[in-house]
A and B are shown apart, each in its own frame.
Chain A
Amino acid sequence: MTAYVIRRLVWGLALLIIVCGLTFVLFRVLPTGNPAVLRAGRDPQPHLIKEIERVLGLDKSLPAQFWEYLKGVFLHFRFGYSYYSRQSVLSLIGERLPATISLTLGAAVVWMIAGLSVGIVSALKRRTLWDRGAMGGALVLISAPEFWLGLLVLLLFSNDIGKLKIFPGSGSYVGLTYDPWKWFTSLIMPWCVLAAGSAAVFARLMRGSMIETMEEDYIRTARAKGLRERAVIRQGVRSSINPIITLLALEVGVLLGGAVLIESVFNIPGVGALAYHSIVQSDFEVVQGTVLLASMFIILANIAADVGYAYLDPRVRYG
Chain B
Amino acid sequence: MAEALLRVEDLRVEFPTEDGVVHAVDGITYQVAPGKTLGIVGESGSGKTVSSLTTLGLTRRQGARIAGKILFEGRDLVALPESELRAIRGNEIAMIFQDPLSALHPLYKVGRQLVEALQAHKEISNSKARARAVELLGLVGIPDPGRRVDEYPHEFSGGMRQRAMIAMALANDPKLLIADEPTTALDVTVQAQILALMERLQRELGMAIIIITHDLGVVAEMADDIAVMYAGRIVETASAQSVFSGPQHPYTWGLLKSIPRLENDRSEELVPIPGTPPSLIRPPSGCHFHPRCAYAQPDHARIDPNLEQVPGEPTHFVACLLSPEERKRLWSELAAGRVPEQALAAGSGEGGV
Q: Which residues of B contact A217 (CB under 8 A)?
A: 97, 99, 102-103
Which has the most chain B C-beta neighbours within 10 Å: A221, A225, A231?
Answer: A225
Among the stretches A43-51, A258-266, A299-307, A311-319, the one at the interface with B is: A311-319
B85's nearest neighbour on chain A, judged by CB, is A226
Distance, CA A239 to CA B86, complexed state (A): 23
Bound CA–CA A315/B105 (angstroms): 12
Which residue of A has the minimal Cβ distance to B92?
Answer: A226
Near B by CB (< 8 A), chain A positions 203-234 give 216-218, 220-228, 231
Contact with A along B84-110 (1 / 0, CB 8 A): 001111110011010100111111100
Query: Which of A220, A231, A242, A312 is within 8 Å of B103, CB to CB?
Result: A220
Which of B102, B107, B120, B154 lies in contact with A238, CB distance below 8 A?
B107
- Which of B86, B91, B102, B121 is the one whose CB lies under 8 Å from A218? B102
Question: Would you call A239 and B117 a contact (CB within 8 A)?
Answer: no
| Complex contact B102–A313 (CB within 8 A) | no
Q: Bound state CA distance, A216 and B97, in angstroms?
A: 12
How many residue pairs link A and B with beta carbons under 8 A? The number is: 74
Residue of A nearest to B152 (CB): A314
Known: A225-B168, A226-B87, A226-B120. A314 touches B154 (CB 8 A): yes
Q: Which residues of A contact B116 (CB under 8 A)?
A: 222, 225, 227, 231
> Do the beta carbons of B108 and A223 come within 8 Å of each other?
no
| Shortest beta-carbon distance from A126 to chain B in Å | 11
Complex contacts, B94 vs chain A, CB 8 Å: 224-225
Cβ-neighbour of A226 out of B86, B102, B108 (below 8 A)? B86
Which residues between 54 and 73 of chain B lie within 8 Å of chain A, taking CB atoms?
A: 56, 58
B89 near A225 with CB under 8 A, answer: yes
In the complex, chain A residues whose CB is within 8 Å of the CB of B58: 220, 223-224
> In the complex, which residues of chain B have a beta carbon less than 8 angstroms from the beta carbon of A221?
97, 103-105, 165, 168
- Choose from A223, A224, A239, A312 the contact partner of B105 (Cβ within 8 Å): A239
Q: How far in angstroms is the closest Cβ of chain A from B13? A: 16
Q: Output the least CB separation between B217 and chain A (Å).
A: 25
Q: Which residues does chain B contribute within 8 Å of A218, judged by CB atoms?
A: 102-106
Q: Is A102 an interface residue (CB 8 A)?
A: no
Residues of A within 8 A of B121 (CB): 226
Query: What's the tally of chain A residues with a CB closer than 8 Å to chain B?
Result: 21
A159 at the binding interface (Cβ < 8 Å):
no
Least Cβ–Cβ distance between A241 and chain B, in angstroms:
10
Is A235 interfacial (CB 8 A cutoff)?
yes
| Chain B residues with CB below 8 A from A313, complex form | 106-107
Contact of B107 among A222, A224, A228, A239 (CB under 8 A): A239
Residues of A within 8 A of B56 (CB): 223-224
User: B108-139: which residues lie under 8 A (CB-CB) from chain A?
Assistant: 108, 116-117, 120-121
Complex CA–CA separation, A242 to B94 (angstroms): 30
Q: Which residues of the other chain, A, contact B104 by a CB distance below 8 angstroms?
A: 218, 221
What 1/0 mask marks residues of chain B from 163 to 191 whose CB sits below 8 Å from any chain A CB?
Answer: 00100100000000000000000000000
Cβ contact within 8 Å between B107 and A225: no
Choice from A224, A239, A315 contacting B95 with Cβ under 8 Å = A224
**A218-B104, A231-B116, A315-B106 as given contacts; A224 in contact with B152, CB under 8 Å:** no
Residue among B87, B116, B168 with max Cβ neighbours from chain A (10 Å): B116
| Closest chain B CB from A90 CB (angstroms) | 43
B154-A315 in contact (CB<8A): yes
Contacts A226-B87, A314-B152 given: A216-B102 contact, CB under 8 Å?
yes
Which residue of B has the minimal Cβ distance to A239? B107
Chain B's closest residue to A236 (CB) is B105
Contact of A220 among B91, B97, B152, B154 (CB under 8 A): B97
Which residues of B sit under 8 angstroms from A223, Cβ to Cβ?
A: 56, 58, 89
Q: Which of A239-254 contact B (CB under 8 A)?
A: 239, 242
Taken together as a complex, chains A and B put the C-alpha atoms of A225 and B120 apart, in Å, by 8
**A315 cross-chain contacts in B, Cβ below 8 A:** 106, 152, 154
CA distance A239 to B104 in the complex (A): 12
* Complex alpha-carbon distance, A216 and B106, angstroms: 11
Q: List 23 A-B contacts (CB under 8 A).
A: A217-B99, A218-B103, A218-B104, A218-B106, A220-B58, A222-B105, A224-B58, A224-B90, A224-B94, A224-B97, A225-B120, A225-B168, A226-B86, A226-B87, A226-B88, A226-B120, A227-B90, A227-B117, A227-B120, A235-B108, A238-B108, A239-B106, A313-B107
Nearest 5 A/B pairs, CB to CB: A226-B90, A226-B89, A225-B90, A217-B102, A218-B105
Contacts A217-B102, A223-B56, A225-B89 aside, 13 further interface pairs with beta carbons under 8 A come to A217-B103, A218-B103, A220-B103, A221-B105, A223-B89, A224-B90, A224-B94, A225-B116, A225-B117, A226-B87, A227-B116, A227-B117, A228-B86
